[in-house]
Structure 1
């Protein structure tokens, strides 16, 4: 999935174009959740860390996809005068 400013906005929008993307924020939240459950050992190998990082970004990609589908549904129903 190719990312651009339309489908991967800033996580904390404001007047600046700098900062964390929503994809980065989602991946970081997935990592934080893993660390709470101690699913990632502190002495993990570099290969395992890279594997987990790829997993967190796949989760973030899935979240962005569902978010875009939900926004499309919301916009469509709003144009039809419906609410969900």
Structure 2
């Protein structure tokens, strides 16, 4: 998936172009949840940590895709004068 400002905006928009992307924020939240549930031991082998990092970014990618689909659906129905 190619990212740009439209489908991967800043997580905390403001007057700056700097900061965390929404993709990074989603992945970080998935990591925080895993750490809170002790499902990722701190002394895990590097291979496991890399697999988990890939998983969290795949989850973030899925969230961005669903977000884009929802926005498209919302925009389409609004243009037809409908509400969802």
TM norm structure 1 = 0.98
SS state at 2:40 partner: coil
* 1:17-67 residue CA offsets vs partner (Å, 9 max, x unmatched): 000000000000000110111000111111111110000000000000000
2: CA distance, partners of 1:36 / 1:15: 32
Matched, 1:24 2:24: yes
Question: What is aligned with 1:47?
Answer: 47
Question: What is aligned with 2:61?
Answer: 61
Give every structure 1 segment of 4 or more consecutive aligned residues whose post-TM-superposition deviation is greater than 2 Å: none
Which 5+ residue runs of structure 2 have no aligned equivalent? Answer: none
SS state at 1:25 partner: helix
TM norm structure 2 = 0.98
Question: What is aligned with 2:73?
Answer: 73
